[in-house]
Amino acid sequence: MYDHGWFNVAFERELREDLTPAVIGSRRLVLARLPEGVRAFSADCPHRGAHLAYGGRLEGEAVICPFHGYKICLGTRTPEGFSVAAYPTLSIGGLIFVRLSASHDCGFEEHLQRLTMDHTLVAGFEMPVRVAFELVIENAFDQRHFHSVHHISTRPFLVEHEPTGNLLLRSSFSFPATGWIKDKSGSDYLEVPFTARTFSPGIIVSQLGGDTPYCVITTATPQPDGSCMIRLSLALPHAHYGPKPNEQFTSYLLAQSRKGLTDDQLMWENLSTTAPQRLTVHDRAIIAFQSFCRSFASPA
């Protein structure tokens, strides 16, 4: 597990109460609806370890613990000394992100803020998968699997670090035109520029260009049992789709994305985690991603 980085812990529609439980691996969180917006805190009561989101009651800037009734301040100390740590939180476009530490933003918050200025964010779907969460994001860097699993041809993958610290991938895809995604020239095949920015081991924002441009925000958040929860959302440019994109089109894109993940799921959930790994020259982008991930772990 990592000590830094952003994770997509919920969609805003999941927050039906003042307090909502969330997890990042073994870290138990409570999402609190406060006057300034949704914020994330450690969910473990410092008195006896009760989970503050289950039966706890929000009272101003504190939670009344459901186990012994102590007032647990959110981010600050009470006279009894009971408080829980706050985590950096970003709630935007119906998506809620939490960062494990004050470092390793890698330009993510600014990128998402800029994206929402001229794109409509569409909070998509959840998908539980029995696989380590890094493999979900690593999939975007696995060039050869696109042809084998998804029947998509690719140009060579080019990977570099951007000044903000995120990892940038550039390539292009070639795939058959569909009823929704077409080439203006009438070609049966599309050559689509592909750019992906990875901001943490659990978040990648992919941009597809061409005549039907759109972005896919793919996130994977580790669960306590070693599986992960994928949350996939879209960002559609106003210049192309207007401020209110066609719902049938967004449903189509989400359905195609889910199908792609389902095809990958068959591979992920039947991988051997103990088999030797013999990476080749075709796996350079994967190696770059794995190195990027290691930077999110604190030195021993």
Distance, CA of 79 to CA of 61 (rounded, Å): 14
Rounded to 10 degrees, what is the CA torsion of 94, 98, 104, 106?
0
Burial of 294 from C-beta contacts in 10 A (0-12 / 13-18 / 19+)? exposed
Are 285 and 149 part of one and the same domain? yes
Q: Which residues contact 175 (CB under 8 A, 6 or more apart)?
A: 151, 152, 153, 189, 190, 192
- pLDDT, residue 128, reads 98
pLDDT in tens, the chain (300 residues): 799 999 999 999 999 999 999 999 999 999 999 999 999 999 999 999 999 999 999 999 999 999 999 999 998 765 667 999 999 999 999 999 999 999 999 999 999 999 999 999 999 999 999 999 999 999 999 999 999 999 888 899 999 999 999 999 999 988 776 655 555 556 666 788 999 999 999 999 999 988 789 999 999 999 999 999 999 999 999 999 999 999 999 999 999 999 999 999 999 999 998 888 899 988 999 999 999 999 999 764
Q: Which domain holds residue 121?
A: 108-294
Are 24 and 72 part of one and the same domain? yes
Q: Exposure pattern of 105-122 as b/e (b: 16+ CB <10 Å)?
A: bbebbebbeebeeebbbb
Are 117 and 202 part of one and the same domain? yes
Are 94 and 145 part of one and the same domain? no
- Number of folded domains that form the chain: 2
Are 147 and 79 part of one and the same domain? no
Are 76 and 129 part of one and the same domain? no
Helices (H), the chain: 108-118, 133-138, 143-150, 238-241, 247-268, 284-294
In a domain, 73, yes or no: yes
CATH number for the domain including 44?
2.102.10.10
Are 51 and 124 part of one and the same domain? no
Quote the pTM value. 0.93
Q: What is the pLDDT of residues 56-110, one digit of tens each?
A: 999 999 999 999 999 999 987 656 679 999 999 999 999 999 999 999 999 999 9
| SS3 of the chain: helix, strand, coil, percent, to 5 | 25, 40, 40
- pLDDT, residue 173, reads 87
Are 88 and 18 part of one and the same domain? yes
Rg for the chain, CA atoms, rounded: 21
Burial of 213 from C-beta contacts in 10 A (0-12 / 13-18 / 19+)? middle
Are 255 and 190 part of one and the same domain? yes
Are 114 and 61 part of one and the same domain? no
In a domain, 300, yes or no: no
